[in-house]
Chains A and B, each alone.
Chain A
Amino acid sequence: MAIKKRHLMLGNLACVHGAIYAGMRFFAGYPITPSTEVAEGCARELPKIGGKFIQMEDEIGSIAAIVGASVAGLKSMTATSGPGYSLMVENIGYAYMTETPVVVINVQRGGPSTGMPTKGSQADTMQARWGTHGDYTAIAVAPSTVQECLTETIRAFNLAERFRTPVTVLLDEVIAHSREMVTIPEKGEFKVYDRVKPTCTPEEYVPFEMTPNGVSPMAGFGEGYRFNVTGLTHDTMGFTTNRPEEVSPKLDKLANKILKYRDETVKMRTEMMDGAEIAFISYGSVSRAALQAVMLARKAGVKVGTVQLYTIWPFPEKQLREICAGCKKVIVGELNMGQMIYEVERVLPNNIKIHSIQRYDGEFLTPMQLLEKLDEVL
């Protein structure tokens, strides 16, 4: 077996290679620390493979351009940070309503407002869930290593293409700006999912057809199918409707096509949970500290484990309950003033005491801090 080439790579660039591996051939973006390197990487790499890069005039232009490109048939992506994501949410909602697959990378930085551009944070967690107006069902994934930036971006595209919906990749700034060893997978090593294409004749094509799994076959503009796409609530033909009997079924379709298969979106990593009475729950950079803390604590005979979420939204309710069933306490670690903890509290039964350790001064939660918290709650 040939030794696979390994690269010392920046997290942001690993996202680029992941996206390209997944078939992304269109990037539109706007410079913003700490995600600019994703745009720079795409500007360099895409022409080499016949892809397209454009720097738009602002983040709203960027999300609009990638949705347009996806409607035209290309897998497309943008990357930004909190302030840019805030500008994008209306049109992320448009991608959701029109069932247009796109990937939006949010490299989270200190907020709110301009905040701390070069410092890490996880304070956009709830924005990825509730950012756009209206009833919206989010999909958001979160890597914790540079290699995972690559693999989670592939997974983000597969989820977007499969469910015909926008997917957010939540990074901490610290991961995006770290350099670690990365191997780029061979073709075929990872499954790459492409949107289902219609096979019927253009006359029969119903662009937003109510299919059993809720995902309608998606033709791209210029592929022989002519249809209307609108952000107005619309019927199966894509024509505007306000008829109640058509409105709620459409919103049900947008939500249930994801929630019906939520188990297949779940991805978690658990370490040393056998017989654990306490569990850390976290994502991203906090999970790395938690792993270290748990290893040290186990050596000291403490029955503690760690649960890392890769899929944040939809929140893995059932799986988290199962994994933490044996625990008496959990500690939710976050780089914000408490966001994911609301989901943990909503989901876990009352007999499990829920603690939290939060850091929002721009620095990371360290293993030592987690161990101190562990002592406190023991």
Chain B
Amino acid sequence: MSDSEAAGKTDSKPARKAKYDYSSGPPPLNINLKWCKACNICIALCPQQVFEPDRDGKPVIARPDDCTQCTICWVHCPDFAITSNYK
């Protein structure tokens, strides 16, 4: 899946049915709030809107089950504040 195709998903097609169950075990991603600078890139680029900004604009994993483990968030994060716990 090329990057532009993944990113393009937000405009047209509905969110894909998640194929990972994160109800048990760690969430798909962990956020290092000390390193995160609230630049909003992950929140805006996530094709599945998994994140919601908290009071400071830093990402909160609001919809973990929608995460399709596409890696867009943490490959873009300029401060390595996101690491993955993919299934």
Query: Does A touch B (CB under 8 Å) in the complex?
Result: no
Interface residues of A (CB under 8 A from B): none
